[in-house]
Amino acid sequence: MASEDLTSAGPRLLGPADVRSLASALGIRPTKRRGQNFVIDPNTVRRIVRTAGVSVDDVVLEVGPGLGSLTLALLGSVHRVVAVEVDPTLAGALPATVASYAPEFVERLQVVEADALRLTSLPGPEPTAMVANLPYNISVQVLLHLLAMLPSLHKGLVMVQSEVADRLAAAPGSRTYGIPSAKAAWFASVRRSGTVGRNVFWPAPNVESGLVAWQRRDPPTVSVSRAEVFAVIDAAFAQRRKTLRSTLKVYAGSAAAAEAALAAAGIDQMTRGESLGIEDFARIAEALAHA
């Protein structure tokens, strides 16, 4: 992808008055059902773009652009933004907002009106990065679905509920390690990249927010599918405080089958799922498949 010069001044960003004015003109009232909390602080979106490490060579996927606060900041720094928005009113208004606030960057924007959880393809060049303020009620599902669907995504930064950020970035053995941590690790190395205060949103959410950065890596090399490995993860955490021998016996068919698979994978049957890394879960899934 050929590099191009970026306008030094960059696009004009949305402040509190802009966000409220746009919402009022569109008849938009933020809803909890769609996790709508619009960013009203230009410094926050600048920080997100800077922390994401995206450049003019990147095609960025943004999920839930809303009124365009983050979209405008991205357009001044990347080759293209593919913005996926489920709300038809917001999706329809975004190009006009960009034309008004950053007319020089209109050609860099592609809006897709769709539910991110039901996406099966995207138009144009494959996205190389994902930067988004994800809807908090479905953030983990959206992230895992898009990582699976789009192998071209090699890095990203997402804003999610603070507790979810902790879970996604948690290491085996930590208090917050669980299903989201293990499944995200199949695709990428994940780390916490900061916190975001409530006062940068309108309306202010009832929860704290956190930034999560990730870098794509190769999954474990095994002869079973990702779905089989994820099924083992689900089973292992179905009863978090119980041993793997206990949690896996139903999935394996019997306690004896669970014991045999754990032995073949080199895992102590008295271990709990919270202490295992993604490679361990992959070995267990492989052992079960070959039993």
Beta bridge partners of 196: 209
- Whether residue 279 sits in one domain with residue 207: no
When divided into structural domains, the chain yields a total of 2
182 and 233 Cβ atoms separated by less than 8 Å: yes
- Whether residue 178 sits in one domain with residue 39: yes
Alpha helices in the chain (DSSP H): 16-26, 42-52, 69-75, 88-101, 139-149, 162-169, 179-187, 226-236, 244-247, 249-252, 255-265, 278-289
pLDDT tens-place string over residues 159-168:
999 999 999 9
Q: Backbone phi, then psi, for 32, in 5-degree steps?
A: -65, -35
For 154, 166, 253, the CA distances from 209, given in Å and listed in that order, are 23, 10, 41
Residue that is written with structure tokens 């202490």 in the block: 275
Greater confidence (135 vs 6) lies with 135
- Whether residue 51 sits in one domain with residue 185: yes
CATH code: domain of residue 209: 3.40.50.150
Question: pTM for this one?
Answer: 0.92
pLDDT over 80 at 101, yes or no? yes
pLDDT tens-place string over residues 162-187:
999 999 999 999 999 999 999 999 99
What is the spatial distance between Cα 287 and Cα 266, in angstroms, rounded to a whole number? Answer: 10
Domain boundary among 216, 242, 267: 216
- Whether residue 240 sits in one domain with residue 174: no
- Whether residue 177 sits in one domain with residue 81: yes
Residue that is written with structure tokens 């138009």 in the block: 123
Domain boundary among 165, 187, 216: 216
- Whether residue 267 sits in one domain with residue 193: no
Residue 37: which pLDDT band, with cuts at 50, 70 and 90?
Answer: confident
CATH code: domain of residue 238: 1.10.8.100
pLDDT over 70 at 2, yes or no? no
- Whether residue 231 sits in one domain with residue 174: no
pLDDT over 70 at 290, yes or no? yes
Host domain of residue 162? 16-216
pLDDT over 60 at 7, yes or no? no
Whether 7 maps to a domain, the answer reads no
Whether 182 maps to a domain, the answer reads yes
Whether 221 maps to a domain, the answer reads no
What is the spatial distance between Cα 97 and Cα 109, in angstroms, rounded to a whole number? Answer: 11
